[in-house]
Amino acid sequence: VERVFGLSSKALMDLGCWKTLLVDEDRPLFERHITRLVQGQSSDLILRARHRDGSLRHLRSCAVVDRGEAGRGAGRLYGALQDVSESVRAEAVLRETLAEAQRFRVALDHAPSYIYIKDGQGRYVYGNRATLGLFGCSAEALVGRDDRSFFAPETAARIRAIDKRVLAGETAREELEVRGGGLADGRVFWQEKAPIYADTARRVVWGLCGVSTDITARKRLERALELQANTDSLTGLDSRAHFLDVAGKELARLRRHPAPMALVMLDFDHFKRVNDRYGHEVGDRVLVAFARVCRQNLREIDLMGRLGGEEFEVLLPDTGGAQAREVVERLLGAVAAVELRVDGRPPIRMTASAGLAICGEGDGNMDALLNRADAALYEAKRLGRNRLVVAAGA
């Protein structure tokens, strides 16, 4: 009694009935409890009472009336009180934990990302609704299976390699492009994975949790924008900025690993006459044809870009003086052989002038090489066009 109420047995007896210690809301329950006993029924319920120190206690009251063998008379009341406060609190915590877990599960199931948990062997323990939808299986069918059940061997092996790092204690944040056919082939995911510790203090890893987001559309957009920025919209050749960037890197590579290289500046001869006579639309078609012929007569390793207007540049890696001259002469011959017919009018003949600069020790950067090639091109045009002029050595 003293532990339950903080009162001595005498003090409780002096109260007459411990009902006075109950919270107001539970006193009607106590009255019904007594009514059941008077009617000869047993009663078992939990009531709330105040301890002497003011704390709230949950008490389980079990009682029965014994009216003797004949079942008559006032009888005796036998009852027991048990402090079940800890059990009640534990049950409340459990209910809240389960409710919170359910709310958390609902939130995860409404997340667009793929959220999952794996054990130390890389086997799935949990997957949210998006993950189950990706794999096309139920939660029960997911548990115990690894990525080999869902992805092509190449992709499954790459995922396992990432998982091993995480299970060793790392945190992984990286892209994964699914390849090799099968599920999600060609899609790109941004992955974030972290270890789950069985013993945080001792850094004992139990498994991992991961969040994967499908960024395929974003990557396609990035590639499209990059291609747009790096490509001349009319001819499909490299843009000026991209050409100079790649050419500059190639020149830097040659400084580390010496090899021959040549730069060609091309100019479509008398292009203004074409625009003036046929209009800009036909002029654009002529430039496209010119770029196509040039590209067809270059090697895969050669780089060609459009400077602007009717000016173009070509980078010839691993190409020395004599070979570079041969390439450019062949290219000019191919251009001169083209006859472009437009709307039944007389064919348009194309010729070009070229300035060739062979990379030398004095070409410390692309500007120096471009200046020499441009000077040679100017000379070719001064000499009457439709010709190649090789720049003096650097």
What class has domain 231-390?
Answer: alpha beta
pLDDT at 71: 55
pLDDT digits (tens, 9 = 90+) for 219-274: 888 888 888 888 998 999 999 999 999 988 888 888 788 888 899 999 999 999 99
Q: How far is CA 160 from CA 84, 122, 164, 173, 208, in A?
A: 50, 7, 6, 14, 12
- 273 and 367 Cβ atoms separated by less than 8 Å: no
* pTM of the full structure: 0.54
Give the span between the Cα atoms of 113 and 38, in whole angstroms.
Answer: 62
For the segment(s) 2-89, the CATH number from 1.20.1050.90, 3.30.450.20, 3.40.190.10, 3.20.20.70 is: 3.30.450.20
Cβ count within 10 A of residue 338: 16
Q: Classify residue 393 by its DSSP letter.
A: P
Mean pLDDT throughout 21-38? 80
Cβ count within 10 A of residue 311: 16
pLDDT at 366: 82
Would you state the structure tokens that stand for residue 138, as one six-digit string?
């139920």
pLDDT at 75: 64
pLDDT at 99: 74
Closest by CA to 191, choosing from 207, 171, 220, is 171
Per-chain mean pLDDT for the chain: 86
> For the chain, where are the alpha helices, taking DSSP H only?
2-5, 9-15, 27-38, 85-109, 129-135, 139-142, 153-167, 216-230, 240-256, 271-278, 280-296, 321-336, 366-382
Would you state the structure tokens that stand for residue 216, as one six-digit string?
């395929």
Let me know if the fold of 111-218 is the same as that of 231-390: no
Give the span between the Cα atoms of 164 and 335, in whole angstroms.
Answer: 58
pLDDT at 2: 67
On the question of pLDDT at 189 being above 90, the answer is: yes
Q: Which helix or strand (DSSP H or E) is residue 48 part of?
A: strand 43-50
On the question of pLDDT at 394 being above 60, the answer is: no
Q: Where are the domains of the chain?
A: 2-89, 111-218, 231-390
Would residue 111 be called left, alpha or beta, if left means φ above 0 and alpha means ψ between -120 and 50 degrees?
A: beta
- CATH fold of 111-218, please? Beta-Lactamase (3.30.450)
Mean pLDDT throughout 318-342? 91
Q: Which residues fall within 8 angstroms of residue 80, CB to CB, at 6 or more apart?
A: 61, 62, 63
**166-177 b/e (C-beta count within 10 Å ≥ 16 → b):** bbeeeebeeebe
Mean pLDDT throughout 189-202? 88
Give the span between the Cα atoms of 229 and 267, in whole angstroms.
Answer: 23
- Please report, in angstroms and rounded to a whole number, the separation of the first and last CA atoms in the chain: 107
